[in-house]
Structure 1
Amino acid sequence: MLKAERHKYIMTKLIEEQKVVTTDLALALDLSEDTIRRDLNELDGKKLLEKVYGGAVQVKEKAADVFNIDINAEEEKKRIVAKALSLLRDGQVIIMSGGSTNLVFAKLIPAELKATIYTYSLPIAMQLSQHPNIDLIFIGGKMQKNAMVTIGMDVIQVVSKIKADICFIGASSINVKQGLTEVGYEVSIVKKAMIEASDRVVSMFTSNKLDTKMPHSVCEISQLDTIVTELDPNDSRFDEYKKSGVFVL
């Protein structure tokens, strides 16, 4: 597993459980405890977590507006979103997963668009609540507080009853053989339900997610209709994806 994948796994576990234990991470990732300690030290140096004896805990943040979210590589994500906006039509029923790319997408949806959007992401719901013509449905459930998304059977039951024209789904990792994969099991289950409920599935992500994998499967590549990144769609890195029947925007 690449370092970036390990770091993403560690940070996701930290969000889900508020702490991580070195021995548990080493067992889950089939790595030495020394490797995990080096990862935790590096993440501590970046102030992404607080290293403690035997593991790490979340950084205690200063009081701030919880909806003032810092988005990494925002300009890059705006380039992705600019392509995906062409897929929107008046009257669509849309499902949106969480994630920073989808949050940028929500910010840039044209004011004149008239559509119904379901989401289990609180930041995205708050953003869309300001849109003049969007009929917004926030899907309630158990809240992952730091990720600010809802999970669990309540979410899955609502999603399973939706008949959506299109869903915009974020990606933690993607490759041709394993398809779309996620760090967290509960999020992967919600995303599976989103896909089943939608006629068309669009995954938007930055190109560093290409050809990586995480522990929990979301769907096979063949279940995606379109993928959107900041790269030129003719980039050779997409050749195998196109052979699998995916349209690259």
Structure 2
Amino acid sequence: MLKAQRHSYIMEKLRAEQKVVTTDLAVDLDLSEDTVRRDLNELDRKKLLKKVYGGALLIKERSSNTFNVHISAEEKKEKIVIKALSLLHDDQVIIMSGGTTNLVFAKFIPEHLKLTIYTYSLPIAMQLSKLPNIELILIGGKMQKSAMVTIGIDVIQVLSKIRADICFIGASSINVKQGLTEVGYEVSVVKKAMIASSDKVVSMFTSNKLNTKMPHGVCELQELDTIVTELDPDDDRLEKYRKTGIKIL
């Protein structure tokens, strides 16, 4: 089992039971206790759990966010973003779109990472502002109040001058034929610009977005490097996506 999968299992068990025991995890995962302790220590350093003697406890205050934005299916989204953390390392330049999955992701980014992050989402920017080692750039423009994101030509112009390592882009809908699609035209245009400015594109979304379609196209599936869902990468629901060659976490 890959480390990201182990971490996902540990966090899922924590959410269900509020605590985990090292010896029990070793049996469940068929690993040595030393390996489990290393996993727990790593998750503790990332402030995803509280390591205690013999196991770990859930950190419940993680659910808070600056704007008290309602986050549906939050446990699924936490499972997604824990997988995606493996894609981060120091000195990256990152673009983050809006959406509640990216908001959860912002809450889980480890404090020690040194990153430059551009975003057009006010809630995500406020969440990232709590991290001491993040150089944060909020892209200004016309505010779409319903989603608390900036849109328009000013945003496009800023994005056109960025060269990012990774774009973490939310998905309203995704399917094999149409790729990513959006409900709103202006947001779809901004997301196209984000993709054009990034070396790699990662889309994180819950599995209910699979095989659905919205009116406005964002990109073809082949323009994505990686997709991340709460499902096991070998799940049958992802078979059509695996066949395209896209990386699945």
Give me the TM-score of the superposition, normalised by structure 2.
Answer: 0.73
CA RMSD in angstroms comes to 1.1
CA–CA distance in structure 1, aligned partners of residues 216 and 82 of structure 2: 29
Identity of matched residues, %: 77
Instruction: Give the match's secondary structure for 1:169.
Output: strand
Alignment pair present for 1:121 and 2:142: no
Instruction: Give the match's secondary structure for 2:107.
Output: helix
Pairs aligned (count): 185
CA–CA distance in structure 2, aligned partners of residues 122 and 143 of structure 1: 9
CA–CA distance in structure 2, aligned partners of residues 176 and 70 of structure 1: 29
CA–CA distance in structure 1, aligned partners of residues 119 and 86 of structure 2: 20
Aligned position for 2:210:
210
Alignment pair present for 1:236 and 2:244: no
Write out per-residue CA displacement over residues 179-202 of structure 1, whole angstroms, 9 at most, x where no aligned residue: 000000000000000001000000
User: Mapping of 1:14-33 within 5 angstroms?
Assistant: none
Instruction: Give the match's secondary structure for 2:164.
Output: coil
User: Mapping of 1:188-203 within 5 angstroms?
Assistant: 188-203=188-203
Deviation at 1:75? 1.1
Write out per-residue CA displacement over residues 67-92 of structure 1, whole angstroms, 9 at most, x where no aligned residue: 12121111110000000000001000
Aligned position for 2:174:
174
Instruction: Give the match's secondary structure for 2:199.
Output: coil
CA–CA distance in structure 1, aligned partners of residues 176 and 76 of structure 2: 23
Deviation at 1:223? 0.2
CA–CA distance in structure 2, aligned partners of residues 234 and 172 of structure 1: 22
2:147 is aligned with what amino acid?
Answer: A
CA–CA distance in structure 1, aligned partners of residues 122 and 83 of structure 2: 24
The answer to whether the 8 Å contact 2:202/2:225 transfers is: yes
Instruction: Give the match's secondary structure for 1:218.
Output: strand
Aligned position for 2:140:
140
Write out per-residue CA displacement over residues 10-45 of structure 1, whole angstroms, 9 at most, x where no aligned residue: xxxxxxxxxxxxxxxxxxxxxxxxxxxxxxxxxxxx
Write out per-residue CA displacement over residues 113-162 of structure 1, whole angstroms, 9 at most, x where no aligned residue: 00000000000000001111000000000001121000001001101110
CA–CA distance in structure 1, aligned partners of residues 145 and 95 of structure 2: 21
Instruction: Give the match's secondary structure for 1:200.
Output: strand
The answer to whether the 8 Å contact 2:66/2:126 transfers is: no
2:113 is aligned with what amino acid?
Answer: L
Structure 2 unmatched runs, 5+: 1-64
Deviation at 1:245? 2.1
Deviation at 1:66? 7.5
